[in-house]
Structure 1
Amino acid sequence: MIDDGGHVFAGDVYTEIEVMKMVMELRVTENGCVHYVKRPGAVLEGGSIVAHLDLDDPSRVQQAQSFKGTLPQPQAPPTHGEKLHQIFQSTRAELENILAGYTLPDPYFKPKLQTSIERLMKCLRDPSLPLLELQDLVAMISGRIPPQVEKAIKKQLQSYSSNITSVLSQFPSQQVKISNSFSHTPVISPLYSVSSPVNR
């Protein structure tokens, strides 16, 4: 084996270690002089440094350098989808939390509040908001309401969707009607909670 301070060439074996009665050779990857950290016969632990290598040509190895730049701002993982009604629901929840007293300290509160209000108003001005909300609800209760009722609701939503860009187009909240014997069940109540605000 190579003595302490001895010179080695790339690929040379500079020492051996014994693991479970097996001998493993340690080789260098560049030319240089070996300086041992562990004495011969020492017991090694995982991650132990055995020796250092003083390179003949330090430019052959990329040196680690301290980072001088700025790290990107951490961003919270998304907690909602990117569809309009999902953004609306998330924004409404944010504003409800603010009204309940859960606020950020200044100077973060006012910009956050202003952004949330602007995002909420943008969602409310979009005529596709009630359509997306009802489509989402109908998909969730599909199979739990009479087929003829589901078909009638989807027909009204399809008609509104095809004319949504028209100035005269109005959301068919009046047409989303269900018989009194079925209208107050927990399955149907979410449909009224969405269509009623539009109707008013």
Structure 2
Amino acid sequence: EASSRSSSVVTDYVGYLSKGQIPPKHISLVNLTVTLNIDGSKYTIETVRGGPRSYKLRINESEVEAEIHSLRDGGLLMQLDGNSHVIYAETEAAGTRLLINGRTCLLQKEHDPSRLLADTPCKLLRFLVADGSHVVADTPYAEVEVMKMCMPLLLPASGVIHFVMPEGQAMQASDLIARLDLDDPSSVRRAEPFHGTFPKLGPPTAISGKVHQKFAASVNSAHMILAGYEHNINHVVQDLLNCLDSPELPFLQWQELMSVLATRLPKDLRNELDAKYKEYELNADFRKSKDFPAKLLRGVIEANLAYCSEKDRVTSERLVEPLMSLVKSYEG
């Protein structure tokens, strides 16, 4: 629900910008409130986007994190508490039916006959009954214009009607048109608000305890903050500082890059880098200072590039760019 509505909000937001208009303040690309009715319980969930596919879900002072990925067949892959769940949705008359890992769940539409709402964007042409009059179920009470067509709106129940929307007003879906004082209020079955909390769950994907992976996650969170998404800035900054204080960080980053690039690097360069790296690890200065040999490794890479032909140099520079970027960041 949050994923589909977020996409709709982005479309509306971009629509305003493309017309040269400032989007209304109530349109948020990050915060969204979703109400779900399941088995007689009403769940009001505040969703906060932490990234393009990352969401924090909050209810009654509890919070869980989830990641959503779109599948080619129209479904969604949700990662929650380190587990993956495949979700499909189908709209029915009674609501939206979800298929989650082969199990079904119905998100019921909230049916309140005392609130007369617009089903789709339309224009209220005129009322067919008097304000404050007694009306009977299944009789027309107003006419609206939808796609250049005039359509009647029927009453879902009997009671006394009170107009809210003026005639001639353009309406959006779910706008309140009128209220109905029901003849039989006991016939309305309203969902009871859910007062519980989410269970305690872990992050969407397992996070390694190694400092370089924590650092990568913190850097990604910092990028998301700069992109306008919500994260705890103080926690992100503190995590970054803790990682940067660790002498293991550059060594683990180097080892990770080398494991990825090992089969793609020229054999001579790979062997020389491995030899220099191991030689430095055995050096007494390393055991004493734990400094990362950035200049040494950069020298090996640049010397190798100097011997490349003009034809191969561009390809080689692109290949070693991640390694060069790392050693340059730790020089000095």
TM bucket normalised to smaller: 0.5 to 0.7
The verdict on how the C-alpha distance between 1:101 and 1:70 changes in structure 2, with shifts beyond 3 A counting, is closer
Deviation of 1:165 after TM superposition, in Å, equals 5.1
C-alpha spacing 1:94/1:143, structure 2 compared with 1 (3 Å): same
Aligned counterpart, 2:214: 87
Is the CA contact (8 Å cut-off) linking 1:94 and 1:116 kept in structure 2? yes
SS of residue matched to 2:247 = coil
% same residue:
25
The structure 1 residue matched to 2:288, chosen from 147, 162, 166, is 166
Q: Distance in 2 between matches of 1:143 and 1:71?
A: 46
Q: Aligned partners of 2:276 and 2:294: how far apart in 1?
A: 9
Task: Give 4+ residue runs of structure 1 displaced > 6 Å after superposition.
Answer: none
Q: After superposition, where does 1:128-167 map in structure 2 within 5 Å? A: 128-162=248-282, 166-167=288-289
The AA in structure 2 aligned to 1:77 is P
The counterpart of 2:246, out of the listed 93, 106, 126, is 126
> Number of aligned pairs?
124
Secondary structure of the corresponding residue to residue 127 of structure 1: coil
Distance 1:95 1:71, change over 3 A: closer
Offset, 1:187: 1.5
**Shift, 1:159, TM fit:** 4.1
5+ residue gaps in structure 2?
1-195
Tell me the secondary structure at the aligned position of residue 212 of structure 2: helix
Q: Which of structures 1 and 2 has the bigger CA Rg?
A: 1
Root-mean-square deviation over aligned CA pairs = 2.6
Q: 1:133 to 1:83 in 2, by over 3 A?
A: same
Following the alignment from structure 2 to structure 1, what is the Cα–Cα distance between the partners of residues 278 and 225? Answer: 36
Match of 1:187 in 2: 319
Q: Which amino acid aligns with 1:90?
A: A
More helix as a share of residues:
1
Q: 1:102 to 1:133 in 2, by over 3 A?
A: same
Gaps of 5+ in 1: 1-68, 105-111
Offset, 1:186: 2.0
DSSP-derived class of the 1:171 partner: coil
Paired AA for residue 147 in structure 1: K
Q: CA deviation at 1:156?
A: 3.1
Q: Please give the alpha-carbon distance, in whole angstroms, between the structure 2 residues aligned to 1:170 and 1:79.
A: 30
Q: Distance in 2 between matches of 1:95 and 1:79?
A: 19
